[in-house]
Structure 1
Amino acid sequence: MSGKPNLGQRLLRRKPIETYVAQTQGQNSELKRSITLFQLTMFGVGATVGTGIFFVLAEQVPVAGPAVLFSFLIAGFAAGLTALCYAEMSSMIPVSGSSYSYAYATLGEGLAFLVAACLVMEYGVSAGAVAVGWSEYLHNLLMTTTGYELPRALLHAPLVAEGYSLKFGGDGLINLPAAVLVFLCCLLLTRGSRESARANAIMVIVKLAVLAFFIIIALTAFKSENLQPFAPHGFSGVSAAAGSIFFTFVGLDAVSTAGEEVENPRRNLPLAIILALVIVVSFYLLVTIAALGAQPQEMFEGQEAGLSVILQNVTGSAIPSVILSAGAVVSVFSVTLVVLYGQTRVLFAMSRDGMLPPIFSRVDPHTLTPTANTIIVCCCVAALAAFLPSAVLWDLTSMGTLVAFTVVSAGVIILRYQRPDAPRGFRVPFFPVLPILSILSCLYLISSLSLIVFKLTAIWAILAGIMYILYSSRHSILEKGSKANEELSR
């Protein structure tokens, strides 16, 4: 490649896998490898269990009825296929950046930047959605224990989704607790990755214990008639719910964003992804069965802090409800923490590649974390959580997650043919059938999302394209790289 490349060449150039690996070895690595296999698995569980199961049933049972169980199974099946693809890719390219880095090595710079934009939407928006759910449980805990009720103006967003647009007319002025949660996570993340991983592992253990507590008590009130009619809205309802529920599997991607900070990444990354998936799907199904059997499906609609309310109704006592609300407040904190962590590491990788300004890859010499990056991300996410309704946030997260998952599965196929001899710590079985099924499953779930999500995603993609043309393509490290690197990246 001689002279300045044109736009088409910039879009298709690729960053060699060897360059990625070299950047993260020995003294070349700017981040510290301090996260163990157990902590990494807890990262995946922490970013997943809680994002949905604590409050998504109130949104999706009215859509699918008790058949929401099949919605979880469909979403879990697609996530499982993709988890295997993530396991192979992460064992080949154990770096920060997740599917952005994988796309850069396989599909070219242009598509990698689009994937990165989807990841930014996925992580930033999902952190906002989780913070909104945390606000509901915090309020429920305060009311149950103290009788004090926060003003609605401080608990709800001012914007609502109507048709294909967002309009003012919500119940409140700002969701203040949601914004406060994001800033608390910011304080912890800026202290260091090891401290964040330890805190998350403790919170995940609390979370799983609380969910087991819910399952045991709710099953004592199980009534089979609550499951009738099983699918009141047919398969279309099941499909729509599956598309929205898929955002709850964002934690699988979050595991791979820690590629540069985990010990023995070629072994531990794929293991953590698979272990996290098994734990997550098991708890999702058990909690959903227990909740559906404990109360009629009509009661789910509009039910804030739903699992807590179910326990109170089942036992007639506020104590189990208080325990679950307290557990949710602690555990959903861990979801926000890990998702924000993932967001900062994607931006870190992009900045190191020249795609974003250098401030996003600037590492604090004492904590070895991208502090400025973390503060910027948390300010933006806090604004989303404070002013946007949760339903829109959840669907936008699903779109970002599904696009990222599709690209990772495609990357596995491409590298199997382009780099068959490259070192892999894990190989997807039944190749190429499983990666193809993963892509088809993700595309199917994308097709079930609402039109407003496609509209907002299109606007975001256009803005990302403008950013790439005006800044990123001209500051990319491949733009300034040696001729040898440019030849390798074709």
Structure 2
Amino acid sequence: MSISTKLSTPSLFERMLRTKPIDAMPTHGEEATGGLHRTIGLFQLTMFGVGATIGSGIFVILGDAVPKAGPGVILSFIIAGITAALTALCYAELASSIPSTGSSYSYTYATMGEMVAYLVGWCLLLEYGISTSAIAVGWGQYLNELSFDLLGMRMPAAIANPPGVNGGIFNLPAVVLVFMCCVLLLRGTKESARVNAIMVVVKIAVLIMFILIGLTAFHSSNLHPFMPMGMSGVGAAASSIFFSYIGLDTIATASDEVKNPKRTLPLAILFSLAIVTAVYVLVAIVGVGSQPYTEFNGNEAGLVQILRRITGATWPGVILAMGAVISIFSITLVTLYGQTRILYAMARDGMLPKIFAKVDAHTKTPRKNTVIVGTLVAIAAALLPLDVLADLTSMGTLVAFAIVSTGVIILRRTRPDLPRGFKVPFYPLFPILSVLFCIYLIADLPTHTFTLFAVWLSFALIFYFSYSMRNSKLENV
């Protein structure tokens, strides 16, 4: 009997590669299990994607990316947009066939096995947690511009600026922002989605205003030289700004709370990508065309400064600063939401402690999960500089995106019979190109980012072998 038991016990390698059956995914059915309710429609979900994306690349990172690439930052946004588009198609196919909360983590669990999925989950935790901190960091700068225009006063640099930037020590506005977003998320997903949709419409209107005013000062001479730092500068800028496309991934994290997810998820991904890419490229063109690239300063709220110089008045800057404050609020809200849902999905599978999967009986939200995430994100936003945060976010995002694209190829071979509401066109060319573009952008990230990422994954592996493998729901199946 003992010999038979020993022979039937899976090896360590088999345990690491075990996959979760797609038919066992908890979202197959009218309502998701675990207490989450389906309250999000196509418009709200599309606004979730747009809300998690537009703003971080324009309101926060543009001032840092332009000095790297010059006017060639336009090309940087296009390269990042192409990479995001190729990956979005892959996300759309997997979302239509595996509509499960957890996004890349859940897709990988069904295609490549438990350990790879677990590491992808940690990439997503890095992606969402760090990106939320990176986005919140820029809030204080625009809040300062707004308070100066309206009240004639500014917050002290020590508490308003990112650490290490213009005397910044502790970024207090970022902490306040994360706290407010946590409070809203604790009230419920439906309420959060409504508020986010309103904020997204407002910020798109504000950016359209910037484009229209900026065009009046557009000079083609500002686009020369187009690539002063060469293609390497364009690639470096594209790698840094890619974190602004994580809204596409956020859509997939909402699967358990989406009405008709097999149809709604792929449509929301494609719609949000089209809106985001168009706005990003237009704002980048107008931004670098209206003033010399050498005048961009990553330590300032650059778009506000551009409008002030063009109009000679303060009111356009006030409106844009208001839009930026609202915009960064909505991005922080949605990325914080995505982080909690990734943790929820992993805890539900036994990969993380059960506290992250507990859902409040009244609000139907993971309350303790949200409080823990909000606390850690606020600490990171208060104490870490923006450039480190942005590069780490890009690394986590690009790795997760590359694995999702690979998962499409694997699932086409292993489950050709699986119903798919959407299929990637020009298969397998587009998934392969998606992987190659992701690798190209990863290669241009700074060396210290690879070091920090390796340390992060080392901690992940230690936790996997000491806790997650033994507590996995598949351990005794």
Fold conserved (TM > 0.5)?
A: yes
CA separation of 1:364 and 1:238: change in aligned 2, threshold 3 A: same
Counterpart of 1:135, as a letter, is G
Equivalent-residue separation in structure 1 for 2:147 and 2:48 (angstroms): 28
The answer for the alignment partner of 1:118 in structure 2 is 123
Q: 2:36–2:364: 8 Å Cα contact kept in structure 1?
A: yes
Query: What corresponds to 1:300 in structure 2?
Result: 296
- 1:302: how far off? 3.2
- Which residue is 2:94 aligned to? 89
Equivalent position of 2:19 in the other structure: 14
Cα distance between partner residues in 2 of 1:10 and 1:468: 12
Classify the secondary structure of the residue corresponding to 1:213. helix
Aligned match for 1:321, one of 317, 322, 325:
317
The CA distance in 2 between the partners of 1:22 and 1:477, in whole Å, is 16
Secondary structure at the aligned position of 2:154 is classed as coil
The one-letter amino acid of 1:324's match is L
1:253 is matched with which residue: 249, 254, 258? 249
Task: Show the counterpart of 1:54.
Answer: 59
Per-residue deviation, residues 338-374 of structure 1 (Å, max 9, x unmatched): 0000000000000000001110000000010101000
- Structure 2 stretches lacking a partner, 5+ long: none
Per-residue CA distance 1:115-168 (angstroms, 9 max, x = gap): 0010000000000011011111111111111111111111234468xxxxxxxx
| Paired residues of 1:312 and 1:321 also in contact (CA < 8 A) | yes
Q: Name the amino acid aligned to 2:159.
A: L
* Identity across the alignment (%): 58
Partners of 1:31 and 1:59 lie apart in 2 by 39
The code of the aligned residue for 1:20 comes to M
Give the TM-score, by structure 1 length.
Answer: 0.94
The alpha-carbon distance between structure 1 residues 286 and 112, as it changes in their structure 2 partners (threshold 3 A), is: same
Letter of the 1:128 partner, please give it. S
Matches within 5 A, 1:380-399: 380-399=376-395
Secondary structure (helix, strand or coil) at the match of 1:301 reads coil
Q: Which runs of 5+ in 1 are unaligned?
A: 161-169, 482-490
Q: Which residue of 1 aligns with 2:47?
A: 42
Give the aligned residue type for 2:399: V
1:273 is aligned to 269
- Offset at residue 24 of structure 1 (A): 5.5
| Residues 1:136 and 2:132 aligned together | no
Q: Distance in 2 between matches of 1:454 and 1:188?
A: 35
Return the alpha-carbon distance in structure 1 between the equivalents of residues 93 and 345 of structure 2: 20
Find out whether 1:242 has 2:247 as its counterpart. Answer: no
Total equivalences in the alignment:
472
CA contact (8 A) 1:55 1:304 kept: no
CA contact (8 A) 2:68 2:234 kept: yes
> CA separation in 1, counterparts of 2:148 and 2:475?
57
User: Does the C-alpha gap of structure 1 residues 109 and 420 become closer, same or farther in structure 2, counting only changes over 3 Å?
Assistant: same
Question: Does the 8 Å CA contact 1:45/1:276 hold for their aligned counterparts?
Answer: yes
> After alignment, is 220-229 or 26-35 more displaced?
26-35
1-structure distance, mates of 2:464, 2:15: 10
How big is each residue's C-alpha offset from its partner over 1:150-209, in whole Å with a ceiling of 9 and x where there is no partner?
Answer: 11111234468xxxxxxxxx8232000011100100000011110010000000000100
RMSD after superposition: 1.4
Aligned to 1:286: 282
| Mapped contact 2:32–2:256 kept (Cα < 8 A) | no
The CA distance in 1 between the partners of 2:215 and 2:438, in whole Å, is 33
**C-alpha separation in 2, matches of 1:147 and 1:299:** 24
- Give secondary structure in 2 for the equivalent of 1:317: coil
Among candidates 102, 105, 114, match of residue 109 of structure 1:
114
State the alpha-carbon separation in 1 of the partners of residues 83 and 354 from structure 2: 36
Write the letter of the residue equivalent to 1:87.
A
Which residue is equivalent to 1:184? 180
Shift of the 365–67 alpha-carbon distance from structure 1 to 2, 3 Å rule, reads same
Residues 22, 173 of structure 1: alpha-carbon distance in 2 compared, 3 angstrom cutoff? closer
CA–CA distance in structure 2, aligned partners of residues 27 and 63 of structure 1: 45
Q: Give the aligned partner of residue 65 of structure 1.
A: 70
* Cα distance in structure 1, aligned partners of 2:32 and 2:48: 26
The residue correspondences of 1:363-378 to structure 2 (distance < 5 A) are: 363-378=359-374
- In the TM superposition, what is the alpha-carbon distance from 1:55 to its structure 2 partner? 2.2
